[in-house]
């Protein structure tokens, strides 16, 4: 066990204190396959570790398999981070999910789970474990893993009857409209998922539009992140239409998509009709002054919205004036995030050092002064 330097240090700590650290962080330590096996020996004896961080430790499938076997009967590890380890198989984690009584959070982002040449997805074993009644996992992170549409299909199958997973992160997977039907099926059939993170994919208008009917009927999802998905007004209109009927969504981020004035107008109606949405991200959406005015009109008197991000949208004086009027008639909004004025456009006496994302009070004061 002492042949691997990081694990050797753990052996020393175990011998002197009789226990391993509760939060065991070996991130970026070059454990390799042998180190994974040595760590597994310690974990077989351990009863204290609750968080195990193994990101970028060069475990590969063999080393990860050793660790997962050791965790199958471990009484206290509830979080396992194993991202960026060159993994290609999910069978070790799948077996762990069916046997562990403590594991609640698993991060296997940054590995390679793309489909085979014949179209088979490595996520199938994992999906089968997710479908098991013995699975207790609540958070699954699969970002930047090249899962493709086949991987999403497998996950949708596995999560159809799953009642434990609450949070699913599928960011940076280059998912296109081909993955949208499976995502829609997931939203239509799963009744326990509360947050879905799809940031930095490429669903585009067609993909977002395909999600809209399922989102309209979904009753469990509270948070949806669609940041940087390459959709514009068409997708925004479909999404806004779904929001008018959805009764569960509380947080929505559509930032870094070119929604424009048309998209802002669509959301204006949705903000008036959706019963629960309290946080909306619309940063970098090319709204322009006219779009900002449309959002401001929806904001005025809105009893639910508490946080609104409008940074990087070229608000202009007209937009700023509209927002100032809106916040004067809205006593529920807590955070309005806007860009700070640039140094060359700041009024005389301003130092121009204030960063983006100022609190509502400062924004409203600045805007109110302009109107006055």
DSSP state letters, 140-208: EE-TTS--HHHHHHHHHHHHSS--S--EEE--SS---GGGHHHHHHHHHH-SS--EEE--S---HHHHH
Checking if the pLDDT of 372 tops 50, the result is no
Q: Which two tokens stand for residue 202?
A: 């490429």
Q: Give me the mean pLDDT over the 118-144 stretch.
A: 97
Q: Give me the mean pLDDT over the 284-309 stretch.
A: 95
At 40-92, the pLDDT tens digits run 999 998 899 999 999 999 999 999 999 999 999 999 999 999 999 999 999 99
Query: What share of the chain has pLDDT > 90, as a percent?
Result: 82
Write down the pLDDT at residue 343: 43
What is the pLDDT, as a whole number, of residue 3? 52
Secondary structure class of 333 (helix, strand, coil): coil
**Distance in angstroms (rounded) separating the CA atoms of residues 252 and 63:** 38
**pLDDT digit string, tens, across residues 218-250:** 999 999 999 999 999 999 999 999 999 999 999
Nearest to 30 by CA among 81, 69, 85: 85
Q: Quickly state the pLDDT bin for 16 (edges 50, 70, 90).
A: low
- Reference 173, options 154, 148, 197; nearest CA is 148
Across 247-271, average pLDDT = 96
Local structure of 358: helix, strand or coil:
coil
> With 80 as the cut, is the pLDDT of residue 106 above it?
yes
218 vs 242: CA distance, rounded Å: 10
Residue 126: closest CA among 59, 68, 178: 68
Q: What is the mean pLDDT of the chain?
A: 90
For position 361, what pLDDT does the model report?
33
Which has the higher per-residue pLDDT, 41 or 354? 41
Please work out, in degrees rounded to the nearest 5, the angle formed at the alpha carbon of residue 362 by the alpha carbons of 357 and 366: 110
Pick the closest to residue 54 from 75, 40, 72, 74 (CA basis).
40
- Report the distance separating Cα 265 and Cα 233, nearest Å: 9
**pLDDT bracket for residue 359 (50, 70, 90):** very low
Q: Does residue 370 carry a pLDDT above 80?
A: no
**Is 22 strand, coil or helix?**
coil
pLDDT at 120 over 80: yes
Please say whether the beta carbons of 147 and 123 come within 8 A.
yes
As given in the structure block, the two tokens for residue 93 are: 């984690």
pLDDT digits (tens, 9 = 90+) for 323-349: 999 999 999 999 999 997 654 443 333
Residue 136's closest CA among 107, 106, 108? 106
Specify the pairing of strand 335-337 against strand 307-309: parallel
**What would the pLDDT profile of 25-45 be if each residue is shown by its tens digit?**
999 999 999 999 999 999 998
Neighbours of 178 (CB within 10 A): 16
On the question of pLDDT at 212 being above 70, the answer is: yes
CB 249 within 8 A of CB 270: no
Q: In the beta sheet, which residues pair with residue 225? A: 197, 253
What integer pLDDT is reported at residue 342 of this predicted model?
A: 56
Ranges of H-type helices in the chain: 5-17, 32-45, 60-71, 91-99, 124-130, 148-159, 180-189, 204-217, 233-245, 260-273, 288-299, 316-328, 360-371
Those residues with Cβ within 8 angstroms of residue 5's Cβ, 6 or more apart along the chain or in another chain? none
Q: Is the pLDDT of residue 365 over 60?
A: no
Residue 169 pairs with which residues in a beta bridge? 141, 197
Interstrand relation of 195-197 and 279-281 (parallel, antiparallel or unpaired): unpaired
* Better-predicted residue by pLDDT, 3 or 101: 101
Neighbour count for residue 291 (Cβ, 10 Å): 26
């Amino acid at each position: 066990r002492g042949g691997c330097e990081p694990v050797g240090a753990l052996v020393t700590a175990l011998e002197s204190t009789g226990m391993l650290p509760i939060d065991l962080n070996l991130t970026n330590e070059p454990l390799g396959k042998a180190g994974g096996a040595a760590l597994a020996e310690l974990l077989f004896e351990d009863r204290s570790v609750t968080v195990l961080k193994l990101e970028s430790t060069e475990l590969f499938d063999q080393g990860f398999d050793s660790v997962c076997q050791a965790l199958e009967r471990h009484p206290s590890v509830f979080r396992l981070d194993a991202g960026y380890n060159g993994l290609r198989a999910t069978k070790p984690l799948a077996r762990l999910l069916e046997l562990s009584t403590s594991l609640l959070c698993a991060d296997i982002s940054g590995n390679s789970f793309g489909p085979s040449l014949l179209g088979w997805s490595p996520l199938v074993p994992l999906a089968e474990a997710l479908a098991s009644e013995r699975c207790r996992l609540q958070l699954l992170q699969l970002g930047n893993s090249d899962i493709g549409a086949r991987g999403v299909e497998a996950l949708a199958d596995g999560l159809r009857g799953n009642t434990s997973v609450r949070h699913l992160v599928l960011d940076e997977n280059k998912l296109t409209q081909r993955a949208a039907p499976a995502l829609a099926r997931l939203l239509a059939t799963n009744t326990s998922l509360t947050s879905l993170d799809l940031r930095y994919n490429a669903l585009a208008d067609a993909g977002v539009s395909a999600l809209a009917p399922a989102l309209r009927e979904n009753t469990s999802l509270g948070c949806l992140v669609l940041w940087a998905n390459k959709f514009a007004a068409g997708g925004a209109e479909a999404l806004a239409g779904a929001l008018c009927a959805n009764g569960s969504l509380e947080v929505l981020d559509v930032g870094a998509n070119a929604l424009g004035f048309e998209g802002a107008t669509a959301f204006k109606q949705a903000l008036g009709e959706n019963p629960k949405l309290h946080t909306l991200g619309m940063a970098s959406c090319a709204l322009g002054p006219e779009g900002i005015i449309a959002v401001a009109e929806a904001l005025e008197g809105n009893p639910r919205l508490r946080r609104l991000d409008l940074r990087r949208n070229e608000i202009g004086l007209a937009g700023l004036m509209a927002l100032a009027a809106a916040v004067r008639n809205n006593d529920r909004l807590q955070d309005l995030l806007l860009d700070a004025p640039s140094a060359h456009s700041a009024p005389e006496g301003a130092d121009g050092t204030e960063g983006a994302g100022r609190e509502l009070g400062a924004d409203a004061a600045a805007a109110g002064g302009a109107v006055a």
